[in-house]
């Protein structure tokens, strides 16, 4: 359930509201391309600007639309442990397969706080937990030692590593056997070299089959062949990560490809005009735009 190519699904908006019709189309596109898992209402899904009611509606819609054909790992994290538990309870109620739990943000807990936060969620709801370590977004992150302690907690099954540090991932791998999933598209193959089992991918919103082709080879142990996909995907992955804050570039790309509206919610703003030419060129060079 927690290996291979999993898409960090965008949340499409139209005139300020969630565009559920487009959301259904995006899910169908992912299913047609045999994606290994769908991860809605995470960072890419703009969860910080969704109300809890909206977040729950998206969870329920995605689980229903997927219909059990792929695992659904819903974003249910919060900087409030009580809120994270509430969202996780709802995720189980609607049939999600697991939850993605981001490290608490802004309040900057100590390592003991991270441990107690995730342990409380895992013990409160009988649903697998994927930890999400992304200190660049949250202001603080877990140490490998804390991750290893959490790996001993029942229901905590995997970690989305978005620290950008191979040393961090290597140390986690040396301390415990938790499943390591890349949180950065450009690092999926490098992480595989130290035991990573896949990616929760932003770029899979537009090229799910290509991301899956690479992760299939990784899971087969053929890192040499996977390297060819890494090279092909690299420029596209870097554009999604460096042109602007995620999900600004991926939404601009999807609009260029007529897949979804570009609309974001404040404080996210559209991709700057001067960067659109670079994104368009990247899409053209990849073969997505003529």
Mean pLDDT of 8-30: 98
- Chain segment 210-227, per-residue pLDDT in tens: 999 999 999 999 999 999
Residue 246 has a pLDDT of: 96
Mean pLDDT of 124-151: 95
| Catalytic position from the list 115, 132, 251, 286 | 132
Residue 290 has a pLDDT of: 86
The distance of Cα 102 from the centroid of its chain, to the nearest Å, equals: 10
Residue 137 has a pLDDT of: 87
Tell me the pLDDT of the chain averaged across its residues: 97
160 given a catalytic annotation = yes
- Chain segment 146-201, per-residue pLDDT in tens: 999 999 999 999 999 999 999 999 999 999 999 999 999 999 999 999 999 999 99
Output phi, psi for 4, to 5 deg: 90, -150
Mean pLDDT of 68-75: 97
Its pTM stands at 0.97
Report strand pairing: 156-161 vs 4-8: unpaired
Residue 1 reports pLDDT greater than 90: no
Per-residue pLDDT band at 241 (split at 50, 70, 90): confident
- Chain segment 250-276, per-residue pLDDT in tens: 999 999 999 999 999 999 999 999 999
**Residue 72 DSSP one-character state:** B
Per-residue pLDDT band at 139 (split at 50, 70, 90): confident
132 given a catalytic annotation = yes
Residue 66 reports pLDDT greater than 90: yes
The percentage of residues in the chain with a pLDDT greater than 70, rounded to a whole number, is: 100
Q: How many helices (H) and strands (E) does the chain have?
A: 12, 10
| Catalytic position from the list 119, 160, 212, 251 | 160
Q: Rounded to whole angstroms, how far apart are CA atoms 65 and 92?
A: 16
The contacts of residue 30 (CB under 8 Å, 6+ apart) are 7, 9, 38, 70, 204, 208
CATH architecture of 4-220: Alpha-Beta Barrel (3.20)
Q: Rounded to whole angstroms, how far apart are CA atoms 282 and 290?
A: 11
Residue 95 reports pLDDT greater than 90: yes
The contacts of residue 154 (CB under 8 Å, 6+ apart) are 122, 123
Residue 214 has a pLDDT of: 98
Per-residue pLDDT band at 240 (split at 50, 70, 90): confident
Closest CA to 44 of 165, 199, 273: 199
**Is the CB of residue 220 less than 8 Å from the CB of residue 26?**
no
Residue 239 reports pLDDT greater than 90: no
């Amino acid at each position: 359930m927690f290996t291979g190519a999993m898409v960090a699904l965008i949340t499409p908006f139209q005139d300020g509201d969630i565009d559920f019709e487009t959301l259904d189309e995006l899910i169908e596109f992912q299913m047609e391309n045999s994606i290994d898992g769908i991860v809605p209402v995470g960072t890419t899904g703009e969860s910080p600007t969704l109300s809890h009611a909206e977040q729950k509606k998206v969870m329920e819609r995605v689980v229903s639309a997927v219909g059990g054909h792929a695992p659904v790992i819903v974003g249910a994290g919060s900087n409030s442990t009580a809120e994270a538990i509430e969202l996780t309870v709802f995720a189980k109620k609607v049939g999600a397969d697991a939850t993605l739990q981001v490290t608490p943000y802004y309040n900057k807990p100590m390592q003991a706080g991270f441990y107690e936060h995730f342990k409380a969620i895992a013990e409160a709801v009988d649903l697998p937990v994927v930890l999400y370590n992304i200190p660049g977004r949250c202001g603080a992150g877990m140490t490998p030692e804390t991750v290893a302690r959490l790996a001993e907690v029942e229901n905590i099954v995997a970690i989305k590593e978005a620290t950008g540090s191979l040393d961090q991932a290597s140390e986690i791998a040396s301390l415990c056997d938790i499943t390591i999933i890349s949180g950065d598209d450009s690092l999926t193959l490098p992480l595989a070299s130290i035991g990573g089992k896949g990616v929760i991918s932003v770029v899979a919103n537009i090229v799910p089959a290509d991301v899956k082709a690479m992760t299939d080879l990784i899971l087969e142990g053929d890192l040499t062949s996977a390297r060819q996909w890494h090279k092909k995907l690299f420029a596209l992955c870097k554009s999604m990560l460096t042109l602007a804050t995620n999900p600004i570039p991926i939404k601009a790309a999807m609009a260029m490809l007529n897949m979804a509206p570009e609309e974001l919610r404040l404080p996210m703003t559209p991709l700057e005009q001067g960067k659109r030419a670079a994104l368009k060129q990247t899409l053209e060079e990849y073969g997505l735009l003529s």
